[in-house]
Chains A and B, each alone.
Chain A
Amino acid sequence: EADIYQTPRYLVIGTGKKITLECSQTMGHDKMYWYQQDPGMELHLIHYSYGVNSTEKGDLSSESTVSRIRTEHFPLTLESARPSHTSQYLCASSQTFSRGALGVYYGYTFGSGTRLTVV
């Protein structure tokens, strides 16, 4: 079954450690995204990619970095974790659908998320 997978689901790590959050999708989607969700539930786009070797920063500045070497894989890395990085991180991918004369829209699929706690 086509899906999008995030690992780990939960991670507790000490300050200063390097971490990588994994995101993989089996749907062949070109577009992928990382969102950070704050405790108040609001979603903030931190990174996106429109294809292999393409990465862009999102609306919220983040100290994390991403890479897109393969279509199916979009990992997020924090070189030195801090307590301020504690958050829920959601990965997504999207597929283009036609609306005829109105253009297109992107249908998103989200992973289950990684809850990161930095102590």
Chain B
Amino acid sequence: KNEVEQSPQNLTAQEGEFITINCSYSVGISALHWLQQHPGGGIVSLFMLSSGKKKHGRLIATINIQEKHSSLHITASHPRDSAVYICAVRIIKTAGNKLTFGGGTRVLVKP
């Protein structure tokens, strides 16, 4: 079993719909990242969380440390949100501040 699991693996939504992507992890972490990878390959760091909730534009990320779970929400989704969203965690006591990645969620927003 992977230490970081994302669901769903694939998601198709109509423009304007509310999207939720989930990330569960099985280890103690010091931080959790949500990343966005566009079809061209470039990766953008959306959020880094260690507790609570963060909001940036139409994106909201939450984390529940006790339940070892984080969600990324996209409100009023748009075709330009189509990308792969990756959850990555920094495991406590991991040397070198390495990140452990989930498998990604491929999101397609149709107009």
The finding on whether chains A and B are genuine partners in a shared complex, rather than unrelated, reads: no
Which residues of A are in contact with B by a Cβ distance under 8 Å?
none
